[in-house]
A and B are shown apart, each in its own frame.
Chain A
């Protein structure tokens, strides 16, 4: 079969390495975007047809081939039907006004959807196969490029990425200044100061540990892990780092790594290193070892916390809940423990019950972005989209770098059927939504001298 050569030409890179969009891929992208919008605004039904039609044209699939002609015919039919609906709408509007319009539109929607699906289902097996072959053939050049880019990207994303702009680079004692900022609840400055310190003294493992913890509390586990791994490379037996890494890896579904770090915590702890662990213990083996340690010392909240994390990792959520609860009995002012208790409860499906724990965490540490996000998640899962959006926006107001929250907001606004809010996201300004959602800013938070629990124990 003879495929248009321009598909491959278009798969090439431009001089500066930018990927030129393959028209077929662009069409599919449009189809997906339109499809998503389809679910919230029937106006886009119209565009869906247009996109698809343009797509086939752009892809140069205009060979006088029977199968292609038939596909075109299907599209044309759908378009014609669309035109007919529009005519009917015009008449209905003239005769019955808005009500008439809605009637016709709703009638049209169902049949219209059917037409579009017919287009797809109407494709014969041969056409489908050709589409897929086209797809695969268009891909190899991309695949190569992506593999190349992928390797570079992976290298990049697991390394710690410093902020490009940092006003504190000339600061005299950035590490001490960072500690002060942490005490006064100024996390963004603390992060920059720690980075300034690390530019000068990249061997300061304590700074790496703090930086990692700040990122984790800011709901950025990937960045946290990158920082903490730098720390552990310098100071492999740092218990704080090992515990933090165990927790962040758990959040990132890196089960083996999480287990490794928690096991190492126990093995390197001066008080518990005597506890027997087989060389390659199972999850249950590690849990048992922690239980043994608890028997030895039932007053160490970190043991309960670690056991809680292990149980959470294993989806033993009720048991995890008990462990974090026990830890809190020993250390009631630890915001992180309250957040963890809340997460264990929430993940069982008890979205609202968890809120009590989350609020307690925020009472102790009002700028705990992780918890703000967790609250948003509880609301999303309870279908309270307005509150979910509000809490995501608060989280973003406190940590503007938490980019994943923009995608969460997008989903939430789709559920709310608010196209206007989705479009507003482009500006990446959480405060732009303040007219509709009550968003908290860092300045509005209670002064940090009132915070009971600082993470610096």
Chain B
């Protein structure tokens, strides 16, 4: 079964059409997300490019990332849904960060898609 995060990232496309250019201007970084189905599992990697064009998403480790975020599937969804603050996630060790910290510090939940609920 696909990760919840994969479903989440797949929602990015229509959102990037309107907000992508602004995000690229604001963030200017390529992020890799290493998502674990459960703590200790083998991570699945997703690439969010917010450096080029209107931004894009790809499954897999594409290119070199400015920063890499590692967290569980549930925690990424929680951040996207506003239930977990990224600073808190970081402080509690739920989100690990590698790479250029200046670029990493630009991460905001804005990057993650917000979709309507049934």
A residues near B (Cβ < 8 Å) are 21, 25-26, 28-29, 31-36, 38-39, 113, 116-117, 119-121, 132, 135, 139, 142-143, 146-147, 150, 219, 221-222, 247, 250-256, 309, 312, 315, 339-340, 342-343, 346-349, 351, 354, 370, 373-374, 377-378, 380-383, 403-408, 411, 414-415
Contacts and interface: CB of A to CB of B under 8 A. Distances in A.
Nearest to A256: B1
Contacts of B107: 32
Nearest to A309: B118
A405 B109 CA distance: 12
B14 interface: yes
B98 A132 contact: yes
Contact of A219 (B90, B94, B101, B117): B117
The listed residue with most A CB atoms (<10 A of its CB), out of B96, B98, B108, is: B108
B53 interface: no
B114 interface: yes
Nearest to B101: A120
Contacts of A252: 77
16 contacts: A25-B91, A28-B90, A29-B87, A33-B87, A132-B98, A147-B39, A253-B77, A255-B7, A309-B118, A339-B118, A342-B116, A343-B117, A349-B15, A381-B15, A383-B22, A415-B110
B39 to A, nearest CB: 7
Interface of B: 1-2, 4, 7-8, 10-11, 13-15, 17-19, 22, 26, 39, 77, 81-83, 85-87, 90-94, 96-98, 100-110, 114-118
Nearest to B100: A120
Contacts, number: 136
A251 B117 contact: yes
A29 B118 contact: no
A95 B51 CA distance: 39
Contacts of B86: 32
A346 B108 contact: no
Contact of B116 (A147, A256, A346): A346
Contacts of A408: 82, 114
What 4 pairs across the A-B complex have the smallest Cβ distances?
A35-B105, A349-B14, A404-B82, A407-B82
A117 B118 contact: no
Contact of A116 (B18, B92, B97, B102): B102
Contacts of A132: 98
Contact of A35 (B4, B77, B106, B118): B106
Contact of B105 (A21, A34, A221, A373): A34
B106 A39 contact: yes
A16 B118 CA distance: 42
Nearest to B115: A347
Given A120-B101, A346-B116, 6 more contacts: A36-B105, A142-B93, A347-B11, A349-B14, A381-B14, A411-B82
Given A32-B87, A340-B118, A382-B18, A143 B105 contact: no
Contact of A414 (B15, B96, B110): B110
Contacts of A312: 118
Given A221-B117, A343-B118, A117 B100 contact: yes
Contacts of B110: 411, 414-415
A380 B114 CA distance: 9
B96 to A, nearest CB: 8
B47 to A, nearest CB: 20
Contacts of A340: 118
Contacts of B85: 407
A349 B115 CA distance: 10
A348 B13 CA distance: 9
Given A31-B105, A121-B100, A39 B26 contact: yes
A404 B117 contact: no
The listed residue with most B CB atoms (<10 A of its CB), out of A26, A39, A113, A370, is: A39
A32 B11 contact: no
